Copies of this chain bind each other. A is one copy, B any other.
Amino acid sequence: MQVSKVNALDYEEFIEVFGNVIEHCPLCAAAVWKHRPFSDVRHLHEEICRFIDDLPVAGREGILRCHPDLAGRLARAGQLTKESKREQEAAGVTSLTPEESQRLDSMNHSYREKFGFPFVICARRNKKEAILEGLRTRLNNSLEAEVEKGIMEVKNICYLRLLDLVDHEGVESRL
Contacts and interface: CB of A to CB of B under 8 A. Distances in A.
A28 B73 CA distance: 22
B61 A51 contact: no
Contacts of A27: 24-25, 27, 59, 62-63, 66
A48 to B, nearest CB: 11
B63 A30 contact: yes
Interface string A29-44: 1111110000000000
A70 interface: no
A11 B73 CA distance: 14
Copies in the complex: 2
Contacts of A55: 55-56, 59
B51 A34 contact: no
Given A54-B56, A55-B55, A56-B51, A62 B30 contact: yes
B58 A15 contact: no
A12 to B, nearest CB: 8
Contact of A24 (B10, B26, B62, B117): B26
Contacts of A28: 62
Nearest to A31: B62
A127 B138 CA distance: 53
Given A15-B66, A116-B11, A59 B31 contact: yes
